[in-house]
Amino acid sequence: MRAPVNPFSPSRPFARLRSFHLHPVDEDVEKAETPSTPPSTPPRTRRAPSLPNFAAALPKLAKPLPLPSISLPQRPGARLVWFMVAASITFILVICVAFVGGDIEQPYLKGVLDNAAKHSPGLVLIGENVDIDVDEPSIGIRWSILACGAAHMQPGSGGLHGSRVCGLPKEAVQIFVDSDVEPTGSYDPKQMPTSSDDGHPLSAQNLFQFDSDHVLDVHDARLYPFDTYYLSGTLRAMSPLTNESIPIRRLATVQNMLGFFVDTTDVASLREPAGTTPEEELTEDQSELDVPSRDFEMRVSRQGDARFYALALFGLGWFAVHVQGLMVYFARKTMDLTVIRVYLAAGVGITIALPQLRNAMPDGPDLDGVLIDAIGYFPQVFLSGLGVAVLLLILIVRQSCAQDESAEPTDEGQVLYINDPPSPPLMRSPPMRVLGRPSTASSHGPARRPPSRIYPPTPSPTTPGEVAEYEKARATKHLRGEYVFPPVQLVGSAMGVHKDAGHRRFKTVHFL
């Protein structure tokens, strides 16, 4: 009879250990092992147990499985860093889009000039710059003398502020501000330079611009950043050649300045010429004496973004003061000097940062007691300085208590041995604090007070006779059975005879 096939024979170990998709079918392996010529009478042998045939159950893949990549995967932290870098670059690019609308004043002034040329051509004054000084308080306006309409402007001078129908005036003009006797600004077309190539007129700003200063009404300055200022004035124009008044058809200024929004309205008006006597007023018609002028009213207020940043800095100051108050509260409940020093350093930093936050407010007024300082900066500095003082006092008290607890108490007449090892420290509750008793309760039950270390008095040396007496008493107790649990009860005479003489304990000595 043929011996059974050993599945663990050396001929087939590797065939069983290979993966299933590379393993041939069991029938193929058996055919390869059996001879080509079968015997006449096949022996009846018991087939050895083998692994189940999974080849038929596995799906057939049209393409081989791709091999895994050799490159190591990136850590999650590296992906987070790259994500933050991409988000930062995106944020910067989005913020830069704000510069695209930087020329917002150009379309506004162009519309004003085109409207003037269409409905009321003539002399036009444009305030190209408005300098607002709240501390002075004054407003400085830089005016440009322009003319709208082909009949009033020099040929080839159009294109100012993007308008083709407005340019430099043809005639000389003098401008008077309010009740000034002398002209504040003047314009003479003969003084304007021209191009040497084609004779095209060139514009020199100082030759057709002038500045005017006005006193600002600041009765609402205390409401910073919600302060609003008002200004009103009168402008009139006169020809230096004929001494006749020239009507001003339009008067406008820019709207968006640094941190302010300027809203200007103008209206035509009449006024008496300077130097008119009462006799002339009686002899001549009043309508002939009045000269045309142009009045304007200007309303100046803070822009929305300036108000937002001012209020944000105001709230940030109060938030820092509240955080400092929490640090004082926690400092009273801790005994760790390092934590108290950290709180003290943070409190000093907050006190130093408060003036910087106040100075960072956009175009903030001086420290004259405005409302935002009365409810913000002044109490913030006071409370922050008070918190620093309290933290410093707590640090001094904790330091003195720590020094007192670390000192070793000595009694009078006590002998201290320097070479003896120190005894283990005892636990005791800390003494009463002058400032800031630690908390005795918490959310999880009564809190344990921090241990304080004291060293007990060093015991006096023992004599050899005392040691011998102690050892003798200890041996006597051991021989009497007093160290056995439960202890042996002695009855009868002092010789140790028990009531039950037949009772004996294991490893117990009795005296008879």
Rounded Cα distance, 91 and 19, in Å = 53
Question: How many Å apart are CA 344 and CA 338, to the nearest integer?
Answer: 10
Give whichever of 20-29, 245-254, 264-273 has the largest mean pLDDT: 245-254
Contact criterion met (CB below 8 Å) for 160 and 203: yes
Q: What is the pLDDT of residues 203-247, one digit of tens each?
A: 788 889 999 999 888 888 889 999 999 999 999 999 988 888 899
Q: Judge whether residue 501 has pLDDT over 90.
A: no
303: left (phi over 0), alpha (psi -120 to 50) or beta: beta
Report the relative pairing of strands 248-253 and 122-133 from DSSP bridges. Answer: parallel
Integer Cα distance of 340 and 330 in angstroms: 9
Q: Tokens in use for 485?
A: 């649990």
Report pLDDT digits (tens) over 357-415.
999 998 888 888 889 999 999 999 999 999 999 999 999 999 888 887 766 554 444 44
Q: Where are the domains of the chain?
A: 105-274+287-302, 307-406, 465-512
Please give the pLDDT value at position 288: 55
b/e map 17-31, b = 16+ CB within 10 Å: eeeeeebeeeeeeee
Residues 6+ apart with CB under 8 A from 154: 147, 167, 168, 169, 170, 189, 192, 201
3-class DSSP state for residue 119? Answer: helix
How far apart CA 198 and CA 318 sit, in angstroms, is 66
Q: How many CA atoms lie within 13 A of 292 on its CB side?
A: 13
CA distances from 204 to 146, 160, 194, 252, 483 (A): 13, 12, 10, 21, 120
Q: What is the secondary structure of 334-391 as a DSSP string?
A: ---HHHHHHHHHHHHHHHHHHHHHHHTSTTPPPSS--HHIIIIIHHHHHHHHHHHHHH
With residue 315 as reference, give the H or E element that holds it: helix 304-331
pLDDT digits 0-9 by tens, 338-347? 999 999 999 9
Least confident among 253-262, 285-294, 347-356, 383-392: 285-294
On average, the pLDDT of the chain sits at 76
Amino acid found at 359: N
CATH numeric code, 105-274+287-302: 2.70.170
Q: What is the Cα–Cα distance from 421 to 316, expressed in whole angstroms?
A: 57
Bridge partner residues of 228 (DSSP)? 301
- Residue-wise pLDDT tens digits, 296-311: 999 999 998 899 999 9
The phi and psi torsions of 323 (rounded to 5 degrees) equal -65, -40
H, E, C per residue of 434-502: CCCCCCCEECCEECCCCCEEECCCCCCCCCHHHHHHHHHHHHHHHHCCCCCCCCCCCCCCCCCCCCCCC
Most confident of the following: 39-48, 280-289, 450-459: 450-459
pTM comes to: 0.58
What 400-408 contacts at long range (C-beta under 8 Å, 24+ apart), as own/partner pairs, is 401/430, 401/431, 401/433, 402/335, 402/337, 404/431, 405/430, 405/452, 405/453, 405/454, 406/453, 408/454, 408/455
Q: 4: which residues sit within 8 A by CB, 6+ positions away?
A: 45, 46, 47, 48
Share of the chain above pLDDT 70, in %: 64
Give the pLDDT score at 53: 54
Distance CA(374)–CA(368), nearest Å, equals: 10
Residues comprising the chain, all counted: 512
179-213: b (≥16 Cβ within 10 Å) or e:
eeeebbbbbebeebeeeeeeeeeebeeebbbbebe
Q: Specify burial of residue 429 (Cβ count, 10 A radius: 0-12, 13-18, 19+).
A: exposed
**What does the pLDDT look like over 98-140, one tens digit per residue?**
777 655 556 788 888 999 988 889 999 999 899 988 888 889 9
Is pLDDT of 151 > 60? Answer: yes
3-state secondary structure of 207: helix
Q: Yes or no: say if 490 and 498 are a contact pair by the CB < 8 Å rule.
A: yes
Tokens describing residue 161: 């502020």
